Structure 1
Amino acid sequence: MKQMNLLEELIVDNFAGGGGASTGIELATGRPVDIAINHDPDAIAMHKANHPYTTHYCESVWDVDPKKVCRGRKVGLAWFSPDCKHFSKAKGGKPVDKNIRGLAWIVLKWAGTVRPRVIILENVEEFKTWGPVRKGKPVKSRAGETFWKWKEQLESLGYCIEHRELVAADYGAPTIRKRFFLIARCDGKPIVFPEKTHAPAGSEEVKEGRKKPWRSAAEIIDWSLPCPSIFDTSAEIKEKYGIRAVRPLAENTIKRIIRGLDKFVLN
């Protein structure tokens, strides 16, 4: 079987922010991302600083012509991390924007024009509930309806699709953040998700030495850096550190602190 040469294909990071996804892709492939797209000048400026060998487009993803920017070269990987705020439960009861929720339709534009060999989409787990919106609220009875239509259209373009919810801690990251990942391929090769390398410290897998224990966030925090107390007022923080901080903290944040103190300190 002929070996794939990633140097002959483009790698595109749509919705590129500061460059986190691009860094992961670079670590995995051993080469920089070729094209990064974001409408926000600040995001593009940060991405340029982190990825100077990438070609940047400070435009809406809808305004970028895939054929024009790819210039006839094949696309090996197209990565998509559309805005997740209007799916996430962390948004609370605020109205959602159906246009922002619809950003994932851009995947079909790329699939239909330049046909990336591999497409990866990352989002919050609630992405699967993508459906119609009425008066700023998702219609609960039709949850997931748009997601399945979107997926069917991608399949109709010749893509095989698999998706899973992955926990970052299971792969060595010091956070238990869970995310939805969808992989689509049109090259006939199997979709392979990575094997878990870590597990909770008390699990049988760790006790038997089959997996490493989850890492703690404490491992990556520089405890020597001065940090404003959660109990200080905004004025006190400004006086002590010369920075502006929002105080008092939001009610939900305080509740999370209380739960943490109860679980990790009191009990």
Structure 2
Amino acid sequence: MKQISFLDEIIVDNFAGGGGASTGIELAIGHSVEIAINHDPAAIAMHKANHPTTEHYLESVWEVDPIKAVRGRKVALCWFSPDCKHFSRAKGKTPVHNNIRGLAWVAIKWAAKVRPRVIMLENVKEFKTWGPLLKNEKGEYYPNPKKKGVTFKRFVKSLRKLGYDVEWRELKACDYGAPTIRERFFLVARCDGQPIVWPKATHGDPNSEEVKSGILKPWKTAGEIIDWSIPCPSIFNRKKELSENTMKRIARGLQKFVINNPEPYIVRIGQTGFGGDRFQYELNKPLTTITTKAEHLLITPFLTSYHSETREGEVRALSLNSPIHTLDTSNRFGLVTAYVSKQSQNSVPATTVDRSSFVKSFLIKYYGADIGQDINSPLHTITTKDRFGLITIKGQDYKIVDIGMRMLQPHELFKAQGFPENYIIDHDYTGKPYPKSAQVARCGNAVPPPFAEALVRANLPELCGDRDKVKRAV
């Protein structure tokens, strides 16, 4: 029986971007992909910095000839992550471009010309609605609502005609170890007679029986990506005041995640910053002793979102105890921290200026007057104690002495996507600095590496060991 060595097989990452899929594949097989293709110079610059041994094609995927690119080598895997913005629900009623919606067809070109034994395609879950377009009187194109999914079915049929078995599913990144709820559509096709394997989840809801029994690990949380060494400046007395909507979002988040939260997420900080003694309190155990000195403070943080207007009463924010929401190409997450100290006559201010009065005024304006009481309902219970700015933690009263806010930094966002901590994001392969806006854009467009790693380990286990020794009968 003929034996084939997989040593000479290669892997191709189309639409390589900043390297999310390539990184996940490398985590699985132990080396960089052989070929990466992308038309964006900025994306290729980041990819080269992290995958210097990869052969890079800075051009449209349509311009690359698969036969010339592989140079006679067998292709184990072709990965495709075509532009998803013309399928995403976030696209709304904006006109679409047929040349972008049709990018996935390049997978058929590779299948026909070099016959990769495995093809993987990643996109938003609305990719299944891919269908023909209609042209309006302005010459703009829109999806035909009566033919949703027609083109997708043609695409699948084309792969099957070429001898591929085809399956697809929707997976969540948090189930595979990334601290984000990002959900994506994956299509796997293979022509080598082996079964398509969907990776089993490794992480789950902390409250699930699978996690409690030790079968799964708990989801990684937003709190794990935060760099606590970065200062979170006060929202008061800023050079440029925050917008009204931002202030309302902060107030609603404070109400939900701090004031009304029986078990707030708590971190200790030091007087000169977070320092080496920082740690997250275990919420199921008693708090350690909190003194009246300013160097022993607590923060109860949460994340607020900057996207779109809020509807009345809606909290566009999330706790740090859960995976972060889906990241996109703009930085929409701000870390809000309520600095608290023990409520006693002997307590001292947290800063050189006692901002407790600012906190009280802020909460009265945005929490009390704005969302705290509906004038058409009976008056809420009046207590003998002014509750604005006070929270109770494990039966002990604390006062909010300041509120801070900062945007999440690129290295935190990349960590949220599941990238390794040593991933290079601040400069390209020549050493040229990479602006933060470009870093965030690459992060939002990236495939969370745990997705690619899990799919490759499940479907190409023979590449995840010693490729010199692995043989397979055919």
- The CA distance in 2 between the partners of 1:53 and 1:257, in whole Å, is 52
- The CA distance in 2 between the partners of 1:162 and 1:116, in whole Å, is 16
Q: Which residue of 2 aligns with 1:80?
A: 80
User: Is 1:251 aligned with 2:251?
Assistant: no
- The CA distance in 2 between the partners of 1:139 and 1:262, in whole Å, is 36
Match for 2:189 among 167, 184, 198?
A: 184
**Which amino acid in 1 is paired with 2:154?**
K
> Where in structure 2 are the equivalents of 1:214-229 lying within 5 Å?
214-226=219-231
- Work out the number of aligned pairs and report it: 255
Following superposition, the deviation at residue 203 of structure 1 comes to: 1.5
Q: Which residue of 1 aligns with 2:202?
A: 197
Q: Which residue of 2 aligns with 1:241?
A: none
Q: Which residue of 2 aligns with 1:90?
A: 90
Following superposition, the deviation at residue 152 of structure 1 comes to: 0.2
Q: After superposition, what is the alpha-carbon deviation per residue over 1:184-225, rounded to whole angstroms, capped at 9, x for unaligned?
A: 111001111111111111122222222111110210221322
Following superposition, the deviation at residue 123 of structure 1 comes to: 0.5
Following superposition, the deviation at residue 45 of structure 1 comes to: 1.0
Q: Choose between structure 1 and 2 for higher RCO, CA contacts under 8 A separated by at least 6 residues.
A: 2
> Where in structure 2 are the equivalents of 1:39-188 lying within 5 Å?
39-135=39-135, 136-188=141-193
Change (3 A) 1:202 1:52: same
- The CA distance in 1 between the partners of 2:68 and 2:102, in whole Å, is 23
Give the structure with higher Rg (CA): 2
Change (3 A) 1:126 1:188: same
Following superposition, the deviation at residue 261 of structure 1 comes to: 4.4
**Which amino acid in 2 is paired with 1:224?**
S
> Where in structure 2 are the equivalents of 1:206-217 lying within 5 Å?
206-217=211-222
- The CA distance in 2 between the partners of 1:206 and 1:114, in whole Å, is 43
Following superposition, the deviation at residue 91 of structure 1 comes to: 1.9
Following superposition, the deviation at residue 256 of structure 1 comes to: 11
Q: CA RMSD in A?
A: 2.9
- The CA distance in 2 between the partners of 1:185 and 1:195, in whole Å, is 19
Following superposition, the deviation at residue 162 of structure 1 comes to: 1.1
Following superposition, the deviation at residue 80 of structure 1 comes to: 0.3
Change (3 A) 1:3 1:259: farther
Change (3 A) 1:54 1:188: same
Aligned residue for 2:7, secondary structure, equals helix
- The CA distance in 2 between the partners of 1:232 and 1:94, in whole Å, is 39
Change (3 A) 1:2 1:178: farther
Q: After superposition, what is the alpha-carbon deviation per residue over 1:9-55, rounded to whole angstroms, capped at 9, x for unaligned?
A: 01000001011110000111112100000011111111111100000
Q: After superposition, what is the alpha-carbon deviation per residue over 1:60-106, rounded to whole angstroms, capped at 9, x for unaligned?
A: 10000000011111111100000001001122221111210100000
Change (3 A) 1:229 1:37: farther
**Bigger shift: 255-264 or 8-17?**
255-264
**What are structure 2's unaligned runs of at least 5 residues?**
136-140, 243-304, 321-337, 339-366, 368-474
Answer yes or no: is the 8 Å Cα contact 2:205–2:218 preserved in 1: yes
Following superposition, the deviation at residue 138 of structure 1 comes to: 1.1
**Which amino acid in 2 is paired with 1:177?**
R
Change (3 A) 1:56 1:94: same
Following superposition, the deviation at residue 131 of structure 1 comes to: 0.4
- The CA distance in 2 between the partners of 1:180 and 1:13, in whole Å, is 17
Q: Which residue of 2 aligns with 1:240?
A: none
- The CA distance in 1 between the partners of 2:222 and 2:164, in whole Å, is 38
Aligned residue for 1:182, secondary structure, equals strand
Answer yes or no: is the 8 Å Cα contact 2:25–2:33 preserved in 1: yes
- The CA distance in 2 between the partners of 1:45 and 1:191, in whole Å, is 33
**Which amino acid in 2 is paired with 1:259?**
V
The answer to which structure has the higher helix fraction is 1
Calculate the TM-score normalised by the size of structure 2. Answer: 0.50
